[in-house]
Amino acid sequence: MADFRVLQALRVDGTTRPSPPCSAGGPLMPAIDSPNFETAREIQEERDTHMPYISKSRLMEYAKNPYHLYLKYIRGLREPENRWMRRGSNIHSVFEDYYHNVREAFEETGDVCDDLTIYLPADYTRWMDYTEPFITNFLMFEARRLQRCCDLDDVSLFPAVGIEAEVWDWNQLIPRMGFADVIVEAASLPDFSADTAGVVVIDFKTGKTPPKKYRNDGIFLELEYYALLFEEEYDVAAVGGYYPMNDDFITAESTEKRRSKVERLCQELEDAGTDVDNYPINPGPLCAWGPNEDQKSSFYHICPCKWATESGPGPTFYSDNKESLESGS
Ligand code: SF4
């Protein structure tokens, strides 16, 4: 049975550990290295298309702000890494190693240790900055899963079925692809009934759990893209997003409406080509959400949008020339 006291102790300990010399955290997650990216580039060259593949993040970027996607993937302007991206990469890499460690240990011993902390990377400087709330909540999520497997008297349900699992749909003019952070047996999740067949594809999200009103065009759309992609290769019972910051696990039922929206957006993106007119500017809170340097889109100063300027929509942090005003209002 999972020992919740060990995890609670980690919660207490985690808040008292000293910060590492580099407060930004440990090493960055290595770039995902798959030969399929090269294949996709060769296909792009042959077919003379404007991008080698469509991914979940590209699709979501296009859905939220087509012009941002244009700057990033058509013009090739790279966004500098910010602290939220760095935190997300670091936490994802810790979770990935944890699942590999669980799987390796299970293959060797046929069992899973109650103290799940032993499966975290041995180099604790990689995760000590994120202990509270991310690592602690994640381990509690996993402990609930282990408890369910113990209740079913089958710990073989616990190790991940897939880790950073990669799926490509090559039957499209522009191939579609996705990496699932982890794929687990549905029966191992207390959110599903014990006799649920198939697997659950899980995406880890290191931001805040989105309010319900934003889910339909956000997380649910992302999950639908994954459902469409992964059901070709796996017996998918559900697709879900886990938010360790708030210990929330969100799953969405697949709907025809969302499915056709994903298909329509993929098709639009495929047809958009390199013409900037096909990538409308869609300003909103993500353009600038505060007056500071790190509180705006990387492209804010080269983008003609008027968000957060004196004459534009939203709060006022900048003049119409996008010069910083002394304080926001
Ligand atoms: S500033 Fe806003 S509208 Fe402009 S590219 Fe960035 S997110 Fe898009």
Position 7 pLDDT exceeds 80: no
Is residue 226 a contact partner of residue 219, using CB atoms and an 8 Å limit?
A: no
Q: What per-residue confidence (pLDDT) applies to 32?
A: 65
Position 177 pLDDT exceeds 50: yes
Q: What per-residue confidence (pLDDT) applies to 326?
A: 67
Position 255 pLDDT exceeds 60: yes
* pLDDT tens-digit readout, 265-276: 999 999 999 999
Beta-ladder partners of 168: 177
Position 234 pLDDT exceeds 50: yes
Ligand 1 mean position to 322 CA, how many Å? 13
Ligand 1 mean position to 284 CA, how many Å? 8
Does residue 300 line the site of ligand 1, with CB under 6 A? yes
CA angle 103, 234, 111 (to 5 degrees): 20
- Better pLDDT: 2 or 135: 135
- Better pLDDT: 83 or 101: 101
Distance CA 174, CA 194 (A): 39
Percent with pLDDT over 90 in the chain: 82
| Mean predicted confidence (pLDDT) in 160-183 | 96
- Better pLDDT: 254 or 50: 50
Strand ordering across the sheet containing 176-185: 162-169, 176-185, 199-204, 236-243, 248-251
Percent with pLDDT over 70 in the chain: 89
Position 9 pLDDT exceeds 60: no
| Mutational pocket test of ligand 1: of 297, 298, 302, 322, the residue with most ligand atoms within 8 Å of the beta carbon | 297
* pLDDT tens-digit readout, 188-210: 999 999 999 999 999 999 999 99
* pLDDT tens-digit readout, 115-168: 999 999 999 999 999 999 999 999 999 999 999 999 999 999 999 999 999 999
* pLDDT tens-digit readout, 212-231: 999 999 999 999 999 999 99
Domain ranges of the chain: 1-31+81-159, 53-74+160-278, 283-329
**Ligand 1 atom closest to Cα of residue 299:** 6
Stated pTM of the model: 0.86
* pLDDT tens-digit readout, 17-45: 222 222 222 323 334 678 999 999 999 99
Q: Which of 149, 180, 150, 153 is nearest to 55 (CA)?
A: 180
Q: What per-residue confidence (pLDDT) applies to 142?
A: 98
